[in-house]
Amino acid sequence: MRCDQTFGFQKLERDVVLGVPVLWFEKSAMETGAGSVKLAQLMKARPRSSGGIYHIKTRGVFMIQPGKSPRFVTIACTRTSTHGEIGSYYRSRFMAWLVSIIENSFL
């Protein structure tokens, strides 16, 4: 996964969450969406200064769900914004969600 650039991973690292091995990943992308400009025009408001350029940041984990039929599971948090960051609020919400999924489906 690290060698194949088509995946677009910028970061891969192994970790353990509640005793379950996971592989954390991060990806970034850019998108030029005209939707916000059109919406601003419709509402007679000034468009954002970003010029319609949005950054998409994704942080998530890969893991194997154990059992009779093991499954490869991907759980991720993606945020599209003008600044391109997943802030501490969204990171904490994602961790709470991830822990809940692991407690209910992996343990």
The answer to whether 25 and 59 are in contact (CB under 8 A) is: yes
What is the identity of the amino acid at 103?
E
Query: Quick one: pLDDT at residue 62?
Result: 96
> What are the distances in angstroms from CA 46 to CA 38, 50, 51, 84?
10, 11, 11, 21
Per-residue pLDDT of the chain (107 residues; tens, 9 = 90+): 778 888 889 899 999 999 999 999 999 988 776 666 677 778 887 766 656 678 889 999 999 988 889 999 999 999 988 788 999 999 999 999 999 999 998 87
What is the identity of the amino acid at 105?
S
What is the identity of the amino acid at 98?
L
The answer to whether 57 and 28 are in contact (CB under 8 A) is: yes
Sheet of strand 71-81, all strands in order from the earlier edge strand to the far edge: 9-17, 20-32, 53-65, 71-81
Query: Quick one: pLDDT at residue 92?
Result: 96
